[in-house]
Each structure stands twice: as C-alpha cells, then as structure tokens.
Structure 1
Amino acid sequence: MGTLYRHGKMFVLMVLLGLMVSSSAYGAGNFYDTFESTFGGHRVQIFGLGNRDLSLSLDQGSGSGFRSKKEYLFGRIDMQMKLVAGNSAGTVTTLYLSSDQSTGRHDEIDFEFLGNVSGQPYTLHTNVFSQGQGNREQQFHLWFDPTTNFHTYSIVWNPKLIMFLVDETPIRVFRNYENRGIMFFPKNQPQRIYASLWEADDWATQGGLVKTDWSKAPFKAFYRNFNIDTSTNGAWKNHDLDATSRNRLRWVQKNYLIYDYCSDWKRFSQAFPPECKHSKLL
C-alpha cells in the first residue's frame, strides 16, 4: 500500500475517483448507430449488450479504426478504453477529433497512447491543431495501468477552452487567447470523433528504437460506454477549472507530465508559440 501514499492524500483521492468513474456505465451509446468503420475490415468488432462494446485489432496485415457518422462543433466526448496489454511497443491507440483533413487546414484534438515494452508505462500524447498547424504537444505517464481495466478519457471543447480529462481528472487545459491577439484555437470547423489502432514503430516507442514484436499479434484495444454531449444546455458550454480540479491538474502536471512543448528550448530556439507565455495562468 506504500505506493498509494507516495504523493499523499491527493494520490489516494485520485485513485478512488478513477476507480469510481471507470467502473460506472458512463454512457449508453450504440456503436452501430453512432459510428462507422474507417479501415481494417473484420478487425473492427462491435459486440455486447446493446452493441455498446467495440474492439480494434492490429496485425501485420492492417490496423483498424472507426469514426462518428456526424460532425460536431463543440461539446463533450467521453469514451471508456482499455489499451493493448503486454508488449505493445510500436503500437498507437487513439481517440481524437478532426475536421476534414483534405483541406490542408484541418483542426484536430488528440489523445494518442504510445505503446511500450512489457512493464514500461504507456506515453499519453496530447496535441491540438488549428488551421493545419499543430506542434502543441504535451505528454504524460499515467498513475495507473491502462491495460488492466477500463478508464474514461474525455475531451471538453467549448469556445473558451479544450480540456483533456482522465477519469474526470483534468490533465491539460488549452485555452483560447484570441482576446489577447493569439489566433490559434479550433473553433470554426466541425469535427468528427475518430479512434484507431495502428503500427508506428518508426517513432512511437522510445523514438523508434523499440520495434513491434509481431509474434505478439494480434494486438487488441477495447472501447465502450461512450457519451457525446452537444446539448444546448450542457455543462460543457461553461466547463472550466474550479478549485478542486485546478489542484488535480497541478498534481498531474507536477508528477506525470514528461514533455511540454512550452518548455522545449531546443525545439523552439527562436521563439516559443505565443500562447506559451500564458500557459501557466490556468
């Protein structure tokens, strides 16, 4: 039990909250009604009571993926996920929003889970694109094993902010600073919800040093209990940090943030993206 108290009472609170959220039926959506396969054929499997469970698989033939049938302009998306277990090196499991990429000026909001060798933590990669420009990455390790149980991953997107949450704990907030002359925020293009499992061993694990072990294939990731709230009176419209969630965000950023583009002096030796000067004012 010593590990649970490593970071004090806040860690215990986070663990208990995560268990409560991940074990609940967060949503009751039917995958057939809301989503469609994008690639992978039979590797996309919908099953379970009410068609509320979905699995993606990856083998040497192909990965797999799905997307929402509708586009959304703002809202809250929740999805419970259980990631590829065991040696997942070279694999990438995703949940993200994206507008039409054929325009070359697409918007995108990303959760990407970069696999690793057995016993090493996944890297949770987040990014934001606006008008075809990205390079706004933050990466995290998680305070739990995301392969043993389902956990809820959420994106809140409103005109003021984008918030990434894990089991209701905010891990990142990306704000709209257009009132300060910074015109980098996705707010005009509707986006679909996407998810995928694919192979990227040229970069996904330790910068491409660890390759995919195909003897472990097929690799499988699981999705369930999604919820999409775009209602006009939804809480997402005014969602923001309160005192409790601000403290949780600080706890995650202090203990589990492993990369922040706003601290990468080597990459941005000439100048940091303009929102970085405000990023600490959460």
Structure 2
Amino acid sequence: MNRASTLIASYILVIFLCPLVVSGRPATFFEDFHVTWANSHLRQLEGGRAIQLVLDQNSGCGFASKRQYLFGRVSMKIKLIPGDSAGTVTAFYMNSNTNEIRDELDFEFLGNRSGQPYTVQTNVYAHGKGDREQRVNLWFDPSADYHTYTIHWNHLQVIYYVDDVPIRVYKNNEAKGVPYPRSQPMGVYSTLWEADDWATRGGLEKIDWRKAPFYAYYKDFDIEGCPVPGPSTCASNPGNWWEGLAYHRLSAVEARKYRWVRINHMIYDYCQDRSRYPVPPRECGAGI
C-alpha cells in the first residue's frame, strides 16, 4: 500500500472509531436543557450562557437535559446559596427516569447555617438499589465563586469530582454481584428545593424564610457522551475518550487527593454505618 492509500485508510479508521459526541461547551442553556418545573423561578443570565435558580416560599425549580446519555462526562460550574441556606438542597444528578429499576448518580449540596461548612452528599442507584450515601464537607466556600462539579461515567467506574479533586469512586463490581449502572441511559438534571425535614443536621436546622429568596447560579454546561437515541455502537466503543486507559483508575496524583478528602473531609460513609449495615455491603471492600 502506498503512502496516499495508507493515509486514506487511517482517516477512514479514525472516522469509524470516532463516536457521536454531544458537547455542551461552549453552550447556552437552552441548547441542551429545558425547564422541568417553575419556569418563573429560573432566569437566564449572560445571554443564556448562565442561569439563576430561585427558591422562595412559593416554589423551587428544576431543569433537565433534552436528551439522555449512556456513559460519558457531565460537568457544570455552580455557585451555591450564600449565607444562611439551612434546609435547602441544590442537586445536580443523572437519572434514568425508570422508577423501580432506576439508575442515578447524585450530587446533593445540603444547605448550612451561616459559618458552618457546606456538605455535599453523593449517592449511587444501580438497578433500583440506592442507599449508598457519602457526605463530604467542602474545604472552601462554594457560595463565594463558581466551582466545577463533574460526573465521569464509564464501563469501569463512576468518579465524582469537585474541580480536579475526586471525592467519590464507585467501581464496577458486577463480578462480585454488585449492581452497576451500565445498561440504561440517563438524563442530566438539577433542582433547587426545600428539604428542611432532613437536609441540615438531619432536619434539626429549619429553613429561615426571612432569608428568602435563595439563589444558586450555573454556567459552563458540558455534556460529552453517547446520546440515546443515537448510534447503537457508540456506548460500546472502546475508542471513546472517557473509556481510555487514563480513566481506568485514578492517577497517582488523583489517588492522593482522594485519600486526603476521605481522611480530612468525609463525615459520613454508608460503608462504615454499622447501624444500617451490620455486615458491610459487598462493594465496600473494593477500595479505590
């Protein structure tokens, strides 16, 4: 084969292996999302490149992606409610919307009393089974500026990132009989709502409506993954960048950051809760 033929063959191979990827960066909000409830409580900013979510005594609000995705990476920059946000929850998550057998990957930012650390709760639902909560106190004020929150999901693991710091790793342990979300596409969702029956100190701290309205801000919406409906070969393509060797496990630097979070900032891990699980769930021995 001559050089020209070789180049053409290589080009065809690259096209064949390249998945159909939807990317939301740079994107305006309504390119990839729609309001799911309380349209009056969601406001566009910066020509649609950013949004403000509003919670008051009348309503919270929510939005969702227009499409579902099977594997990939989703991130948003979020600036959380400043001051006294006790009783509020700002959520960013993926959900299969399949009820009894749903898959779901959650970030839930639990409001705080002024001066107390913000807590982020993560959870994993796989094949309808959840109750896998972990809670981390953030090491910065997430209401002072935007920070990037990311869910990276491939065949081997789910990683939750705060900026470039992994705070949660959920591995595929199907070989040990542990369910893993790998067959159902999921949409991307976010909500701002009142949950003072549990959100802050287990419901001891109630929402102070005198501080309302409460605002959360979002920008830099980024979705890179296999859209469903879409090419059936996309999700199984090992050439997708999020399936690459660099994402088979945490790097040495990421592993150090992850241990630092777990040692210094984790305040709850379902794997350590013997009142709920006298025998730890099978996935809890997998480590990172």
Q: Which TM-score band (shorter chain)?
A: 0.7 to 0.9
Partner of 1:113: 109
Partner of 1:39: 37
Partner of 1:246: 255
Aligned-partner Cα distance in 2 for 1:156–1:203? 28
One of 87, 93, 97 as aligned partner of 1:96:
93
**What is the CA distance between 1:46 and its match in structure 2?**
1.6
Give the secondary-structure state (helix, strand or coil) at the position aligned to 1:104: helix
**What is the CA distance between 1:98 and its match in structure 2?**
0.2
Give the secondary-structure state (helix, strand or coil) at the position aligned to 1:236: helix
Return the index of the structure with the highest Cα Rg: 2
- Structure 1 residue ranges without an equivalent (≥5): 1-25
Aligned-partner Cα distance in 1 for 2:181–2:172? 9
Matched residue type, 2:92: L
One of 256, 259, 280 as aligned partner of 1:272:
280
| Runs ≥4 residues deviating over 2 A | 231-235
One of 263, 269, 272 as aligned partner of 1:263:
272
Partner of 2:205: 210
Aligned-partner Cα distance in 2 for 1:201–1:94? 14
Partner of 2:17: none
What are the within-5 Å matches in structure 2 for residues 50-129 of structure 1? 51-101=48-98, 103-129=99-125
**What is the CA distance between 1:27 and its match in structure 2?**
3.4
CA RMSD of aligned residues (A): 1.3
TM-score w.r.t. the length of structure 2 is 0.84
TM-score w.r.t. the length of structure 1 is 0.86
Give the secondary-structure state (helix, strand or coil) at the position aligned to 2:68: coil
One of 21, 26, 29 as aligned partner of 2:27:
29
Partner of 1:185: 180
How many pairs align?
A: 251
**What is the CA distance between 1:234 and its match in structure 2?**
4.4
Partner of 1:225: 220
State percent identity of aligned pairs: 47
Give the secondary-structure state (helix, strand or coil) at the position aligned to 1:272: coil
Aligned-partner Cα distance in 2 for 1:194–1:149? 21
Give the secondary-structure state (helix, strand or coil) at the position aligned to 2:180: coil
Aligned-partner Cα distance in 2 for 1:148–1:222? 11
Q: Deviations over 1:142-179 (max 9, x none)?
A: 11100000000000000110000011111111000113
**What is the CA distance between 1:182 and its match in structure 2?**
2.0
Give the secondary-structure state (helix, strand or coil) at the position aligned to 2:70: coil
